[in-house]
Amino acid sequence: MDHLQISPAQTKIIEIFLQLLAKKPLAKISVTEITRTAHLNRGTFYLYYLDVYDLYTKVSTQFLDALMATFNANYPNEPTPTNFGTLSHKILDYLTTHQKSFQILINADNGANFIEQLRTLFVTGIVTKEHISPENKDYLIDVIYNVNGAIGVIIAWQQGKLNCSLETVTRRLAFIFSVI
């Protein structure tokens, strides 16, 4: 995860939290367990977070915000496969760099909510970038369909179910998005 402008204590809390979230449901993780493992006192935790649910929300929001910053910085002005290739490659690079966090967030007991947030952000981002009216239902259906498919492909690839290269996934996603 990107740890922009956060303290070393927060970084440690997040690292321990993600380790625990990889092993057990969110409801089974306690502040005490996090702080003991991180060798911090509970007061330090409460300086930054209300509880483990607040921590989860902040970690997932930070991840999604960074991913959307990558999306916004690389969304092409001209809809060509090459331009969408750059966007696809940058998004996949981000997800590969943060693969462990991504896997934990999509597989956690709140994973379905995280994936839905991801879908909503990408659909909204495309509709906004393309200046599409919400009344244009045909285009909106195409965007939703393609975003859902792309997220499914990305998750399958990240989980090793596709057994293909980053370049193959990038090329196919770029083609799919260039024909929306």
Asked whether 31 and 17 are in contact (CB, 8 A), the reply is: no
Q: What is the CATH number of domain 52-178?
A: 1.10.357.10
CB environment 31-47: b (16+ within 10 A), e (fewer): beebbeebebeeebbee
Full-model pTM: 0.88
Give the count of beta carbons closer than 10 Å to the beta carbon of residue 51: 13
pLDDT tens digit at each of 180 positions of the chain: 544 578 999 999 999 999 999 999 999 999 999 999 999 999 999 999 999 999 999 999 999 999 999 999 999 988 777 888 899 999 999 999 999 999 999 987 777 899 999 999 999 999 999 999 989 999 999 999 999 999 999 999 988 999 999 999 999 998 888 776
C-alpha dihedral (81, 156, 28, 8), degrees to nearest 10: -40
Going from N- to C-terminal start, the domains of the chain cover 52-178
CA distances, 59 to each of 17, 36, 87, 88, 125 (Å): 9, 20, 24, 23, 21
Sequence-distant (≥ 6) Cβ neighbours of residue 145 within 8 angstroms: none
Asked whether 162 and 169 are in contact (CB, 8 A), the reply is: yes
